[in-house]
Structure 1
Amino acid sequence: MKTDLVAAAYIIHEGKVLLIHHKKLNLWLPAGGHIEQNETPDETIIREIKEELGIEVEILNKSQVPTEGNTKKNLALPFCVNVHSVGDHDHCCFFYICKPKKTEVKIKPDEILAYQWFTKEELTQPKIPKDVQQIGKYALELHENR
Structure 2
Amino acid sequence: MKTDLVVEGVIMNNNKTLLIHHRKLNIWVPAGGHIDENEVPDDALLREIKEETQLDVEIINNCQLLPEGNTRRNLAVPFHSNLHSVGDHDHCCFFYLCKALNPENLKINKESIDYKWISKEEVDNDFIPAEIKKILKKAFEEYEKIKSNSSSIL
| TM-score normalised to structure 2 length | 0.91
Matched with 2:133 is 133
- Show the counterpart of 1:11: 11
Runs of 4+ in structure 1 over 3 Å off: none
Residue 124 of structure 1 and its aligned partner are, at CA, apart by 0.8
In structure 2, the residue matched to 1:107 is 108
1:33 match: 33
- What is the TM-score when the length of structure 1 is the normalising length? 0.96
Q: Distance in 1 between the 2:118 and 2:145 partners?
A: 18
In structure 2, distance between residues paired with 1:128 and 1:19: 9
Unaligned ranges ≥5, structure 1: none
Percent identity of paired positions between Structure 1 and Structure 2: 54
Say which SS state the counterpart of residue 66 (structure 2) adopts.
Answer: coil
Contact kept, 8 Å, 1:62 with 1:74, in 2: the verdict is: no
Q: Which residue in 2 is equivalent to 1:122?
A: 122
Q: CA deviation at 1:66?
A: 2.4
Paired with 1:122 and 1:66, the residues of 2 have a C-alpha distance of: 38
RMSD over aligned CA atoms reads 1.0
Pairwise CA distance, 1:62? 5.4
- Contact 1:17 / 1:119 at 8 angstroms: preserved in 2? yes
Deviations 1:29-85 (A, max 9, x none): 010000001111000111011100001000011532221111111110000010011
Q: Equivalent residues in 2 for 1:26-105 (5 A)?
A: 26-61=26-61, 63-104=63-104, 105=106
Shift of 1:94: 0.5
